[in-house]
Structure 1
Amino acid sequence: MLAGILLAAGESKRMEGAFKPLLKWGTRTVVGECVHQMGRAKIDEIFVVLGHRELEIRQALAGTGVQYVINHDFQQGMLSSVKIGWAQISPSTDAALIALVDQPMIPTALINQLINAYYAQDEKRIAVLSYEGKHGHPIVMSREFEDELMLMANDAPYGLRTLIDRHRDEILEVEVDDPVILEDIDAPADYERLSKAVVPHYAFRKWNP
């Protein structure tokens, strides 16, 4: 059984006043598109980790069937959200896919490619998407890392990457031909560039929640 953990608790500090999860993305919001793509993938349960403006995100995701986890300490960093989301997954879950709300452009096909590759083998306990040797998101991690993950400090300098780097010999690199896995919406210019092919297209200044 595979859980999906979508990290959406942050404040979008680099977005010049806009709130990233609620920006328009075609006929949905950014967070709505992430949930839509994950919901069509081979994921058994989806947890959305919320913090900043969590009630508004709940409203945007009404009817999607996802479960919500509130991180009151989201300002401590992304790792705190990973941990609180991980703590909620079902006992029968053997792995979790960790995704970022910054990446609404990751399609179901790439998510499933990662999942299929992970479950097609039993040697590696971490699976990452890779483009030309560079690792991207989302990632899949075995439940076996739970104890180690929970012992990490929320403000660990490199967050989850610290754990992954400790276990480089256990990483399955899933090579894809799409550089989108290396992209994320970090600033308004990223939103404009990455959403150009989305229909309908919204210019950043025209829709600024």
Structure 2
Amino acid sequence: MRAPVGIVLLAAGIGTRFGPSPKLLACLDGKPLVRHAAEAAVAAGLGPVVAVLGHAEAELRAALAGLDLCLVSNARYAEGLSTSLLAGLAALPEEVVGAIILLGDMPRVAPSLLRGLAAAFREAGEQPAAVVPARGGRRGNPVLLNRRVLAAGFAGLSGDRGAGPLLAGRPDVLEWEAVDAGVLLDVDTPEALAAAGRP
């Protein structure tokens, strides 16, 4: 039986480098930035998709309306990324072994990339602590985390960091070569948003 793989969409942060308006609601190709990532997550056809919301929650809920998502509120989002990661992981069903952590500001991640991460995890026999996409020698996102292997370490996460500290130096992190340039593109500034909209 194939290992269940779910997706956690992190969409709770403030995005201070973007400016005063909520970054994830900025328009790209006629739709909010966050909806690009959410639509890719749903279209991948894997397991459940959990979207973690915090800053500008009401507006984000409206932007994500109509998609097959489990929406989770993180009242502690201002304490950093780790709180949203933990909230999202906790909302996945227990039987979901692999959790793809998708950032809401990555609009060029394709459904095929998400399926590729899941396939690499399953083909490795569910042994890696994580599957990390790489392109041109650079590691990117999203990252697939093995909830069983990393379970003991999740409780120690804090502040504005994701799972990076848990994976540093581990020999059981699988680097998966991605053909999709979207693994290296996240939108942190208005300039990056403009660049993402160019062919």
TM-score (norm 1): 0.87
Residue pairs, 1:1-209, within 5 angstroms: 1-122=4-125, 123-144=127-148, 145-149=150-154, 151-155=155-159, 158-167=161-170, 169-197=171-199
One-letter amino acid matched to 1:196: R
How far has the Cα of 1:166 moved from its partner?
Answer: 4.5
How far has the Cα of 1:42 moved from its partner?
Answer: 3.6
Distance, in Å, in 2 between the alignment partners of 1:62 and 1:180 is 24
Distance, in Å, in 1 between the alignment partners of 2:44 and 2:68 is 14
Q: What 5-or-longer segments of structure 2 have no aligned partner?
A: none
Where 1:147 maps in the other structure, the secondary structure is helix
Query: Contact 2:107–2:182 (CA<8 Å) still a contact in 1?
Result: no
Distance, in Å, in 2 between the alignment partners of 1:180 and 1:53 is 25
Query: Contact 1:42–1:115 (CA<8 Å) still a contact in 2?
Result: no
How far has the Cα of 1:31 moved from its partner?
Answer: 1.0
Where 1:14 maps in the other structure, the secondary structure is helix
Give deviations 1:161-199, integer Å, cap 9, x for gaps. Answer: 1001142x11111112333312210111100001213xx
Q: Which residue is equivalent to 1:200?
A: none
Distance, in Å, in 1 between the alignment partners of 2:45 and 2:69 is 14
How far has the Cα of 1:153 moved from its partner?
Answer: 3.9
Give deviations 1:88-138, integer Å, cap 9, x for gaps. Answer: 110221111101011011111212121111111123231010012211000
How far has the Cα of 1:72 moved from its partner?
Answer: 0.9
TM-score (norm 2): 0.91
In the superposition, relative to structure 1, how do residues 39 and 159 fare at CA in structure 2: closer, same or farther (>3 Å)? closer
Distance, in Å, in 2 between the alignment partners of 1:172 and 1:29 is 32
Query: Contact 2:98–2:118 (CA<8 Å) still a contact in 1?
Result: no
Moved over 6 A (4+): none
Where 2:101 maps in the other structure, the secondary structure is strand
Question: Would you say how many aligned residue pairs link Structure 1 and Structure 2?
Answer: 194
Query: Contact 1:49–1:70 (CA<8 Å) still a contact in 2?
Result: yes
Query: Contact 2:42–2:68 (CA<8 Å) still a contact in 1?
Result: no
CA RMSD of aligned residues (A): 1.5
Query: Contact 2:8–2:52 (CA<8 Å) still a contact in 1?
Result: yes
